[in-house]
Each structure stands twice: as structure tokens, then as C-alpha cells.
Amino acid sequence: MRNLNLTRLAGPALVFMVLGMMILPLPPFALDFFFTFNIAISIIVLMVSLYTREPLEFSAFPTVLLVTTLLRLSLNVASTKLVLTEGHTGAGAAGQVIEAFGHVLIGGNLTVGIIAFVILTIINFVVITKGAGRIAEVSARFTLDAMPGKQMAIDADLNAGLIGEEEARKRRSAISQEADFFGSMDGASKFVRGDAVAGILIMVINMIGGLIIGVVQHDLPVAEAGRTYTLLTIGDGLVAQIPSLIISVAAGIVVSRVGTEQDLSEQMLGQMFANPQVLYVTAAVIAILGVIPGMPHVAFLLIAALAAGLAWWMEKRTARAQQIEAPGGGTPAAAAAAAPQPLQEVSWSDVQPVDPVGLEVGYRLISLVDRNQDGELLRRIRGIRKKIAQELGFLVPAVHIRDNLELKPNQYRIQLKGVDVGLGEAYVGQWLAINPGNVAGSLAGTQTKDPTFGLPATWIDASLRDQAQALGYTVVDTATVIGTHISNLLQGHAAELLGREEVQALLDHFAKESPKLVEDLVPKLIPVGTLQKVLQSLLDEGMHIRDLRTILETLGEHIGRTQDVDELTAAVRVALGRAIIHQLFPGETELPVVALEPQLENILMSASAGRGGLEPGLAERLLQQASQLSEQMEAQGLNTVLITPGALRPMLSRFLRRSIPNLRVIAHTEIPDTKTIRIVGVLGGT
């Protein structure tokens, strides 16, 4: 308790001491002591500011600034009284400190002393104090502007349970203290500026008043009186202005600090001398200046040698640190990885969402997807997404691209919802010559297969491109190879990419043209989930969904009678029959199709109705015959289209398209009245 009381009395005692020095006369020894005390206080303040990591660590600085300014002013008043009353006795009238500053620091030259005092005052007043005050003013303004946002962030963390009430109280207090600190520093800097002005006025008053007192009252010669009082005045001014300059520098350092975990020395050395290349360039420039005739060669070349030597030493130290193995034979990186890490709470940020579509590339393919290098594949992917949106009727998700060092340098991998669906190799700067089956010769290069369609191909140099085209090869560049692969996979998995979010975005876009239709049907009559499944069924069978008006109107008519997705899809397909036939047989009036053998049709109708399963042997023969028919029709340049009764179409479509992707199954009811059919093959029989 006693120590606490003494501590609490220190502040009032200091203030009363300062005020007492202005009123009561001080002997020279006391004046020496307090001048020395003032210099020591200024050095302490400077050192504290140098080792402060954040401004709030020295939150008492505005008050310290005020007290030290009052201390200097009181010392100026006390010394002025001694100078004017005892100055006629000699240079030591106001104490040894003032005499020492008058003789030692300026060499007894009055002109030099006056100039030095004025320069110090200008530096303090115009440069340091004014700059520090401006920084404090701007910092206070921005701190006050940012206070509401910071308070809201604290409240959000508190409501989310990330911090407790005590931590929130501490953070609010820190924000308030920060605003008060910079506001106080803005005001306190005015004291220092006023102190500088007062110093100049006191110097003028002491010189003129001392000259008058010395000549009139003490009968001193004018020259001697001028020299004595001027020397005392300059010593008095310097002994006060030097601590003032130190305090001003400390103020500038405090308000200009950016909060880090380092003090000023660590921050400056770590940021200015961390890069050896900077020092090498500096050494080169200084060395060039040093060899110019007329320049001080020794000084310039010595500094250049020191900068180059420091850079070399830093490089060697970094290399040794990287080569030294940690205990146990591991590298420093391994040791750091093995060191126990502080446990952190698991949060939702640890849950990484799966990308709908992803592309991973080896390091040699990075230039194709690098924005800084104007990667060709980036533009190609944007074009692919636009083309698919125009063809299918919805916007597929963006392709998330990343590099993967686990892949081979020229390898790429396409992923769908985190699962690999495509893998290939590509070579930047080369061309892929694809053999369509009727080429006139072979090419020198890396033999491979087209990653999209599996055709035989060869990676060739750019110089062989014209030769390959002359031989009948289809020649494409690297970006086209990967882009075609991506496009084929996106179209083949379009149904999987049409999620609930994409359906809602499609409805929002369509509602701009037909707001009443969407408002009346979705989701009042047609659930978004049901609409999504119908659209996915259409995409699964290679249909586009651009005619959303017809799809919604048809679902609105049938949704009251059935909720079965297959039946709803069948009704929509009938409504879209003209578009389906146009997509399969563009511009044709007579449609070449494959029909079911009547006996097989009866068996399948029974299986579809649940009266009996499809015999495995029959299913295998059915797949074989369908595959043979598909190959025959493809050889004739015809699409393989199987026509069936409406009840069989969903089952046969799902059964056959798994093995024969190019085969399409349509129902009789989907054919418009303006079209006729021509049976070019029969599926079934023995």
C-alpha cells in the first residue's frame, strides 16, 4: 500500500515541481540537475518509442509530451532569471550545463550557435512536429470513421460465440483507447510547436534584455555584455531545444508505427536489408558513382564494398540455414512440420466444398491456363460454356482450374464433383494429328490416342502441320485437344451438372420473359425438385431444354394426374416431338428407324408391366443385335434410332444407352403427323 501511495504521488509531485521552478529561484546546481534530468527523460521517451510495437503500448505518450514540454518551459523561465540576474558574473552564471552547451557544442562561436539554434528549431517546428501532428490527425480521423465497423465486428463475433463477454469488453476498450490516443496526439503536438516558437522568442528576449541589463545596470562594455549574454542565451536555448527535438522524433515514431510483432529495429532491418539483390544493385550504383572522376573514390567504393559484402554474407547465411539438418537427420522444414502445432478449434472453414467441374494440369501445361500469360485454354473454356448454354439451354458451372504436381508434367485430369471422369496428355507447342481412318501415310512423332474419341493420333512438331494435313490427318492444337475433351464430357454429363441451383437460375432467367407462367406453375403446382428430375431425364437422352415454355405448360397440364417422373417426361417428350425429330433427322420427311420384332415387343411389354423379368440370355442377345445394327447404320451414315411403344421407351432407353451411347429410343407418339417412317432394321428375333 505504501508503494502504491508513493506511485500515485509521483505525478502530482512532478507537476508541482514544474510549476515551482517557474516561480521560485533556483541555484545553478539545481538548474544543472534539472537540465540533466530533462535530457535523460527525453532519451527514455525516445528509447521507449523505438521498442514499442503498437502505439497503444505507449498510450501515456500525449501526457508525457505535455509534461516534458512544461518541464522545458519551466527550465527556460528559471534559467532566464539566472541569466538576467547573474549573467554579468561570467559564462558560468546559469550553471555548468548551459556553459558547456555554449562552449563545447558551438565552440564559443556566437554566429554558429545562433545559426545552429535556429536550424534545430526549424527542423523541430516545420518538419518533425508538423509531420507527426498531421499523421496523428489523419490517424484519428480514420480511426473514428472505422469505429462503427469494428464495433459491429466485435458484436458479430460475440453473437457467434467466437469470443466471450470479457474478450469483447477488452476489444471495445482497445478501440476506444486507440481513437483517444490519436486524438490526444493531434492536440499534444500543438504543445511542441508552441514550445519551438516560445524558444525563439525567449532567445530574442534574453539577448536583448541581457544586453540592456549588462550595459545599464552593471556598466559592462557593449561588446562584452553582448558576448556574455548571447553565449548564455544560446547555451540555454540549445540545452532546451535538443531534448525537445528528441521528444518530437519520439512522437513521430510512435504515431507513424504500423502495429506488428516487431519493434522498430527489427521491422526496419528485416524489411530494408532482407533482400541481397537490393544490396547488390545498390553496391553497383555506388561503385559506378565512385569511379567517376572528381568524386570521393574512397568513401563511395568503401560503402559499395560494405553493401556487397553484407549481401554476400546474407546469401551465405541463408544457404547454411537451408543446408543444416535438424536433429534426427531431418531437414529444418521437416522438423518444423514435426513440431507440435497449437490445437485449433474445428470450424466450417475446414469443410472444403467439392467443385462441380474441375481441371487439374501438370506444371508444363500451366501456361495454357495462366491469366498472366493470356492462356489460350481459358478463352476456349469460356467459349465451350457459352456454346453448351446455347445448345442445351442452361449455364453449366464454371470449370475450377488448378495445377497438380502429382500429375505428370504433360498430363491433365478432368473431374466431376471430385471424381475423375477424364485423363489425358497434351504437349504445349505441338499439334495433335488425328487419323480419321483414311490417311495416306504416317508421321514422325509421339504415338497416342485422341483423348476424346479414342482415335489413333500422333503428337507432331509445328513444322509437320502442313504435311499432316496434306496426308489427310485432322490437326488441332493443344488447347483444342483439352477443350474438346472438356466439351464432350460436359455434354455427356449435362444431367449431373443441372443441380437445384442451376434450375432456379434458369427459372429466374425465364421469368424475365414469362413472369406469369413461372409465378402460376412453380412452385405452386410443379415442385422445383420434380422439374429438375424431368429436365435431367431429357438431358440424359441427349435432348436440349431450351423450350422451357413448352416443358412448363405440359407439366402444368399433367402434374394433377400423376407425379411419376417417367410419365411426366413422356408427356413432355410428346409435346417436344417436333424438336426431338428435328434434332435426330434434320430436314428429313421420311425417317429411317429400327423397329422391334413383334414377339420381342410382347415380351418386353410383359416385363415392363411387371408380369415377368427379362431373361439374361435374351438381354445379352438384345444388346449384341442392337450393337450390330448401330454399327451397320453408322457405316451408312445414318443415326441409330429405335422406335417403340411409349410404355417401353423409358426402360429400353436406360437399358441400351449404357452400352450404345449413340443409340436413341423414341416413342410412336413423339413422331409428328407430317413425318413418315421407313423401317431400315428390325431388332429381335432368333
Reported as type and span, the H/E element at residue 117 is: helix 110-122
Among 18, 25, 27, 24, which residue's Cα sits nearest to residue 93? Answer: 27
Task: Return the DSSP state at 511.
Answer: H
95 burial level (CB within 10 Å; 0-12, 13-18, 19+): buried
Contact 591, 585 (CB under 8 A): yes
- Say how far apart CA 486 and CA 607 lie, in whole Å: 38
Q: By the 8 A CB rule, do 110 and 230 touch? A: yes
pLDDT score recorded for residue 109: 66
Burial (Cβ within 10 Å: 0-12, 13-18, ≥19) of residue 640: buried
Mean pLDDT by 10 residues, the chain (686 residues): 57 73 73 79 80 72 76 77 68 65 62 73 69 64 65 67 73 73 67 69 75 74 73 73 76 64 59 72 81 78 83 78 51 49 68 87 90 82 91 92 90 93 93 90 91 92 90 92 94 93 92 91 91 94 93 93 92 94 90 91 81 71 89 87 91 86 91 91 76
Q: Rounded CA gap, 573 and 57, in Å?
A: 75
- What pLDDT is attached to residue 530? 94
Could you list the beta-strand ranges (E) of 336-473: 357-361, 399-403, 411-416, 419-425, 431-434, 446-449, 456-460
Q: Dig out the grid coordinates for 128 from the structure.
A: 518533425
Q: In angstroms, rounded to a whole number, what is the distance separating the alpha carbons of residues 239 and 563?
A: 97
> CATH topology for 586-686?
Rossmann fold (3.40.50)
For the whole model, what pTM was predicted?
A: 0.52
The cell for 178 is 486507440
Domain 498-575 belongs in CATH node 1.10.8.540: yes
Given this structure, which CATH class describes domain 357-495? alpha beta
Residue 496's Cβ-count burial label (10 Å; 0-12, 13-18, 19+) is: middle
Count of residues making up the chain? 686
Phi, psi of 265 (to 5 degrees): -65, -45
What per-residue confidence (pLDDT) applies to 329? 45
681 DSSP β-pair partners: 594
